[in-house]
Chains A and B, each alone.
Chain A
């Protein structure tokens, strides 16, 4: 499956893939991030049940230093 994550194409991701699965696949710290899928926020409580689809556009964000 192919996804667009943070503006970049990612090919050949395993299928089926939940948001939770993707986070584990990428090795990201689940508690410190937030995810938007096709411009809709994916709430943390639905990470396990949200199944990603071909071509989904994801934004994965966290807090960094700023003024």
Chain B
């Protein structure tokens, strides 16, 4: 019986060669169907995996849910839901943040987000924007779950409207309440590695530090802190807020972040659909560059054409 370790090419899960037929891939079928069936049906994936030809899609996994895209986009500030839906298609994102609000009961026929963005096709990530206490956040997300959301949620507890910085004391309290209530919490937080560690230790599903204030489009203001958070964190780190243009998203990914969440950079671009497409490429470019490993920085020039053999 072969004893070499078999590893899921998509997520690194180890299969131990212990079944009676000597099948070292014991359980791959159930594992694949449970976690990666949305990437490729098991029947198609298995021959590739077995022959070592399977190439990972380098997916993003949060709390056991796998996403093809590392870009998450917001659904606020668009001209209308139709433009929002078109930008979403162009961005290639599988997950969108959504807000929970009262229905305008005097206008029951008003267009609804769900009419434009199919919650069966895209993952709704309900947020707690507008909540200032842990109790409000729990109440809002319980309602969101009933409205068709699920356990995966985005916690944001804001403070001063001028900078929209997260209130970290209340964020920690709210995260604890939500985790106790069974939610998988993706948490918007400051870029402070100490708070990030506390949130991870508490059991948050993803750490989402801001790159710059929400809606500011200033780019990654503190790459040193973002990198510190990336290095110390075992769950996904997703830069949430501050991206202004494609290169900002690339910078975030080059720092080793697992994903980027943005809203205004796309919604307030002159051509949101084109910017959505740019962001898709920017995130992929940054991720690929990070995985490829950049060349070392040097103080002096180093010619690309050999100096030997000159005429």
Contact = CB atoms under 8 A, between A and B. Distances in A.
Contacts of B97: 66-67
Interface residues of B, number: 37
A34 B144 contact: yes
Contacts of A59: 102, 143
A63 B108 contact: no
B147 A33 contact: yes
Given A34-B146, A61-B101, A67 B109 contact: no
Contacts of B98: 63-66
Given A67-B76, A67-B127, A67-B129, A62 B103 contact: yes
Nearest to B125: A66
A48 to B, nearest CB: 16
Nearest to B116: A65
Interface string A37-67: 0010101100000000000000111111111
Interface stretch (B4-12, B19-27, B44-52, B77-85): B77-85
Nearest to B112: A32
A61 B263 contact: no
Interface string B68-110: 0000001111100100100000000000011111110100110
Interface of A: 5-7, 26-29, 31-36, 39, 41, 43-44, 59-67
